[in-house]
Amino acid sequence: MPRWEEGSAERLTTAALELFEERGFEDTSVVEIAERARVTTRTFFRYFPDKREVLFAESDRIRTAIVQAVLDAPDVTQPLRVVTTALAQFDWDVGGAEIQRRRHAVIAANPGLLERELIKQDEIATEVVRALRRRGVEEEAARLATRVGIQVFATAYARWAEGDGGADLTELTEAATDLLRALVPTEGPPWPRTREEVRS
């Protein structure tokens, strides 16, 4: 028989998500979160370094898995595809799609939480660049492929999260890659040639 209830971290995460939905992030205090989870504030800060981090408990696992997928990619001659594939093949439904949807809604609605989300993405990007470098990809190519790959995937993910009839994330990523191909400017001068140039 445990002396205290077990699963404090999970209860804190659940309580925080509920309270952020009910009253907003700013208007919820750590004290309230801790009360609903039946622990003290001290316990909250034992599990999470700050109030925001309570919604990002999974981020280490996500980052590690994606970096590993890049390191394990069979071929890195197309680094951008390596990145999009590593992202698309991750199981994003951790804890259930509904929880993820609620979590994203809360994050999007609160600048403070969005800041944290963005820096987590940035940390993933930094480590993916390092992984590509280790696979022999040149520095600038690794950086651009990673950052662009993340944006391509984000486009697909946005569609997927909107729940377009349970579409496949891999297919949506392929569609986003097609869109990227259409958007990249063709070689030549930056701006469409002037009428004079076209005439000649």
Residues that bind a second copy (CB under 8 A): 74-75, 77-81, 85, 111, 114-116, 118-119, 122, 140-141, 143-145, 147-148, 151-152, 154-155, 158, 170, 174, 176-185, 187, 190-192
Instruction: Return the one option of DNA, a second copy, none that residue 46 interacts with (CB less than 5 to 8 A, by type).
Output: DNA
Closest CA to 133 of 90, 91, 82: 82
Cα–Cα dist 80/67, whole Å: 14
The answer to whether 107 and 16 are in contact (CB under 8 A) is no
Task: For DNA, give the closer residue by CB, 10 or 122.
Answer: 10
Task: For DNA, give the closer residue by CB, 13 or 85.
Answer: 13
Instruction: Return the one option of DNA, a second copy, none that residue 39 interacts with (CB less than 5 to 8 A, by type).
Output: DNA
Q: How many CB atoms lie within 10 A of CB 181?
A: 8
Cα–Cα dist 174/136, whole Å: 25
Q: How many CB atoms lie within 10 A of CB 68?
A: 12
Instruction: Return the one option of a second copy, DNA, none that residue 60 interacts with (CB less than 5 to 8 A, by type).
Output: none
2-31 mask for DNA (x: CB under 7 A)? xxxxx-x-------------------xxxx
Cα–Cα dist 23/2, whole Å: 33
Task: For a second copy, give the closer residue by CB, 34 or 69.
Answer: 69
Backbone angles phi, psi at 26, to 5 degrees: -65, -40
Instruction: Return the one option of a second copy, DNA, none that residue 1 interacts with (CB less than 5 to 8 A, by type).
Output: DNA
The answer to whether 106 and 21 are in contact (CB under 8 A) is yes
Amino acid at 40: T
Instruction: Return the one option of DNA, a second copy, none that residue 122 interacts with (CB less than 5 to 8 A, by type).
Output: a second copy
Question: Residues in the site for DNA, rule: CB under 7 A?
Answer: 1-6, 8, 28-31, 38-43, 45-47, 49-52
